[in-house]
Structure 1
Amino acid sequence: MITKYMTEIAVKFNPFSPRARSARLFLSYLPPTVRADGTAISTTLLPRTSTEPASLLVKFKDGKEMNLNCEEIGIKGLIEEVDRHSRALHKQANLNE
C-alpha cells in the first residue's frame, strides 16, 4: 500500500463488533513508517453498546477525501479503493518529474 500520499487516516469502530474486522485489519496493514511520512492517524473506539457503523476516512495530498463504510466493504475492497487513488497520485508524480 502506498501511504506517502496520505495526509490523514481516521478510523472509528467498536472493537467488540465482528463487523469492524476490516477496520482493525486496515490499521494492521499500515506500515510502521506511515507516521514518519507525515500522516496523522486517529483511532476512535466506540463503546460496546454502540450501533454506529465502523468507518474509515482517508485524506490525500491532492485534497481528495474517501469516507468508506467498513461494515459493507471487506479488507481487500478497502485496500483496493485506497490504493487505486494512491497509485494514480504516484503515476502523476512520476510524470511531473
Structure 2
Amino acid sequence: MITNFITQVSTKFNPFSASSKPARLFLASLPPNARSSGGMTIQTQLLPRNSTEKPTLYVKFKDGKEMNLDPSVLGIKSIVEEVDRHSRILKKAADLANA
C-alpha cells in the first residue's frame, strides 16, 4: 500500500466487533514509522464493548482529497484498493512533475 501521500487517518471502532476487522487491519498495514517520518496524523477512538455504533474510517491525502470509508460494508481488500487508487494518481502526478 502506498502511504506516502496520506496525511491523516482517523478511525472509530469497537475492537471486539467483527465488523470492525477491516479498520483494525488497515491500521496494522500502516508503516510503524508513519507518524514520525511521513508526517501522518493517526487518530483512533475505541468504542466500548457493548457499543452498536458502526465503525468508521477517514483518510485524507496531501492534495486535500478525503475518503470516508465504511469498514462494516467494505472488506480490507476493497479499502486498500480505494486508497491505493488515489495514491497511484498522486504518485503519477509527482513523477511527472519531477521529470
Q: Percent of pairs identical after alignment? A: 58
In structure 2, list runs of 5 or more residues that go unmatched: none
Deviations 1:36-91 (A, max 9, x none): 20000010001112111111100001000000000000000010000110110000
- TM-score by length of structure 2 reads 0.94
Q: What are the within-5 Å matches in structure 2 for residues 1-97 of structure 1?
A: 1-35=1-35, 36-97=37-98
Q: For residues 71 and 52 of structure 1, what CA distance do their matches in structure 2 show?
A: 11
SS in 1 for 2:60: strand
Q: What is the aligned residue count?
A: 97
Runs of 4+ in 1 over 3 A off after TM superposition: none
* Displacement after TM superposition at 1:33 (Å): 2.3
- TM-score by length of structure 1 reads 0.96
Greater helix share, structure number:
2
SS in 2 for 1:8: strand
CA RMSD of aligned residues (A): 0.7
In structure 1, list runs of 5 or more residues that go unmatched: none
